[in-house]
Amino acid sequence: MQTHNPQENFHKVLIVGNGGREYALGLHLRQDSRIQELFFTPGNAGTATLGTNLALPHNQDIVEFCQSSSITWVIIGGESALVGGLSDELRAQGIKVFGPSRAAAELEGSKAFMKDFVAAHNIPTARYIQTSDPQKAKDFALSLPLPVVIKASGLCAGKGVIIAQTHKQAQDTIDSMLSGKEFGQAGECVVVEEFLSGYELSVFGLCDGESFTLLPPCQDHKQLYNDDKGPNTGGMGAYTPSPLCDQALLDKIATRIFAPTLAGMKARGTPFSGVLFAGIMVVDSEPYLLEFNVRFGDPECEVLLPLLQTPLLDICQAIESKQIARLPIRFRDGYCVGVVLASHNYPFGSSTPYPITIAPFDSTLGHICYAGVSQESATSPMLASGGRVALAIGVASTLAQARDNAYTIANAISFEGKLLRTDIANKALKA
Ligand code: AMP
Ligand code: GLY
């Protein structure tokens, strides 16, 4: 008779979320022969092809499902579940989770907390104040050169940052945020900070509460239109590794930002475990922290995972046993580029669902990650149901070829109102 513990060799994994990031996580996990079953909640019409989608609207529903179905790992994709304490509720029942506790998720959940924390640990960041007093906020805004950055402290799904071009706009923004009209509770406190001019990087650290390993640097493209024009979005495309970040810069990001953050969070009794995402502005070769997110970026996750060779399950286990520093994290050589295909009302509103058609393409060029897609029934056509609909992911040995591959796939995907940037990775290719 075999004596092995089946739990060590076979896994049932639940992924929480419904975007391209969760699809990418599922696609990666599907390649791991130890995964017996994969579930998503709520998932999307794309994840339904990788596993089983479930409607589990409340934390308690998730906990009960994990218990009744012997789920061995829960991977939480997005910030709202983390800030809502899902990890803590699962861990309290002995269920293993990839993702930080509610207390550690405050690094993203409260920009006021984050800024005070980083200031207390001498982590380089923009000069700021955080306050609920409109007069104090305005006085500080008036003391700063233009433009001035105003942020709602709480979670706003990427919409809570305004770059005011005039002091009048700064004052009006402060009033409207603090009145609660625009962002409700999330705007009860604002952060006013100086504008930093440089280029942005997304840097991810796998953290086990004490140690961390940085992943290859990524660059996102936040604005809706080419040349960084138009409104901010969740991200219109990304690539990795970014040649705009050399080892010297990555070392500074490790020692000046990640090391003091992990030490500081541990010291206050809220160690950070999971993936910590630092949004960095590089000004004259020096890194400044713009924001922390307590989860993988979307679309950064979709470009990191195709190059990641170390199984995510091993990473989850190393984090759980506080051994992340000992696990070699291997990435394959080459580059990955992801181009977001959004629906015509993105990022302002929802769109009419339109059918998606996909022309055949050479699968060695890359693949599609599905995000804002739905289906009326398992046999009906997939619909572009709004927001960021899908990503075209190109992989190749050079950045230029990976970009070309991503655009070849992007051009193979059609739906009414398809919106995309045509300059993803151009900054790096020109540099
Ligand atoms: P955040 O959610 O704090 O990262 O802000 C969203 C976006 O606003 C960032 O990705 C930047 O493009 C921009 N941003 C935020 N803070 C600053 C700042 N202090 N200086 C310049 N741009 C900023
Ligand atoms: N791509 C930025 C984010 O996930 O917030």
Residue 166 class from Cβ within 10 Å (0-12 exposed, 13-18 middle, 19+ buried)? exposed
Q: Residue 340, Cα to own-chain centre: how many angstroms? A: 14
Q: Residue 179, Cα to own-chain centre: how many angstroms? A: 29
Ligand 2 centre distance from Cα of residue 395 (Å): 21
Count other Cβ atoms within 10 Å, centred on residue 225.
15
Q: 15 with 37: CB under 8 angstroms? A: no
Residue to mutate, 298, 339, 340, 388, ligand 2, most ligand atoms under 8 Å from C-beta = 298
Task: Please give the structure tokens belonging to residue 175.
Answer: 């009033």
**Amino acid residing at 416:** E
CB-based contacts of 169, cutoff 8 Å, min separation 6: 162
Ligand 2 centre distance from Cα of residue 419 (Å): 18
Domain with CATH 3.40.50.20 in the chain: 11-101
pLDDT computed for residue 350 by the predictor: 79
How far is 299 from 337, CA to CA, in rounded Å? Answer: 10
CB-based contacts of 299, cutoff 8 Å, min separation 6: 20, 21, 220, 235, 236, 237, 238, 338, 340, 388, 391
**What CATH class does 11-101 carry?**
alpha beta
**Amino acid residing at 4:** H
Domain with CATH 3.30.1490.20 in the chain: 127-194
Instruction: Give the ligand with the smallest distance to the CA of 128.
Output: 1
* Residues forming a β-bridge with 414: 357
Q: Is the dihedral of CA 108, 111, 115, 116 positive or negative?
A: negative
Tell the residue nearest (CA) to atom 5 of ligand 2. 297
Domain with CATH 3.90.600.10 in the chain: 335-430
Give the CA dihedral 232, 236, 241, 247, nearest 10 degrees. Answer: 0
Residue 187 has pLDDT above 90, yes or no: no
Tokens 């996580």 found at: 25
CB-based contacts of 1, cutoff 8 Å, min separation 6: none
Instruction: Give the ligand with the smallest distance to the CA of 237.
Output: 2
Q: 346 with 233: CB under 8 angstroms? A: yes
Ligand 1 centre distance from Cα of residue 410 (Å): 28
Residue to mutate, 161, 173, 300, ligand 1, most ligand atoms under 8 Å from C-beta = 161
Q: Is 403 in the pocket of ligand 1 (CB under 6 A)?
A: no
How far is 269 from 259, CA to CA, in rounded Å? Answer: 16
Summarize pLDDT for 76-104 with one digit per residue, the tens. Answer: 999 999 999 999 999 999 999 999 999 99
Distance between the two ends of the chain, CA-based, in angstroms? 61
How many CA atoms, within 13 angstroms, populate the side-chain half-sphere of residue 18?
20
Give the pLDDT band of residue 3 (cuts 50, 70, 90): very low
Tell the residue nearest (CA) to atom 12 of ligand 1. 222
Ligand 2 pocket, CB under 6 A: 158, 220, 234-235, 293, 297-298, 300
Summarize pLDDT for 150-174 with one digit per residue, the tens. Answer: 999 888 877 789 999 999 999 999 9
pLDDT computed for residue 156 by the predictor: 80
Summarize pLDDT for 370-402 with one digit per residue, the tens. Answer: 999 999 988 899 999 989 999 999 999 999 999
CATH 2.60.40.10 fits 335-430, yes or no: no
How far is 329 from 308, CA to CA, in rounded Å? Answer: 8
Q: 124 with 279: CB under 8 angstroms? A: no
Q: Is 193 in the pocket of ligand 1 (CB under 6 A)?
A: yes
21 Cα nearest atom in ligand 2? 4
CA distances 386 to 14, 170, 300, 355, Å, are: 24, 31, 20, 11
Tokens 């993203």 found at: 108
Task: Please give the structure tokens belonging to residue 427.
Answer: 């900054």
Domain with CATH 3.30.470.20 in the chain: 199-326
193 Cα nearest atom in ligand 1? 19
How many CA atoms, within 13 angstroms, populate the side-chain half-sphere of residue 319?
27
Give the CA dihedral 154, 64, 7, 318, nearest 10 degrees. Answer: 10
Give the architecture-level CATH label for domain 127-194. Answer: 2-Layer Sandwich (3.30)
Residue to mutate, 76, 80, 108, 202, ligand 2, most ligand atoms under 8 Å from C-beta = 202
Ligand 2 centre distance from Cα of residue 200 (Å): 12
DSSP 140: H
pLDDT computed for residue 431 by the predictor: 80
pLDDT computed for residue 324 by the predictor: 98
Give the CATH number of domain 199-326: 3.30.470.20
Tokens 């513990």 found at: 5
Tell the residue nearest (CA) to atom 3 of ligand 2. 297
Summarize pLDDT for 203-234 with one digit per residue, the tens. Answer: 999 999 999 999 999 999 999 999 999 988 99
Summarize pLDDT for 34-80 with one digit per residue, the tens. Answer: 999 999 999 999 999 999 999 999 999 999 999 999 999 999 999 99
Residue to mutate, 242, 300, 303, ligand 2, most ligand atoms under 8 Å from C-beta = 300
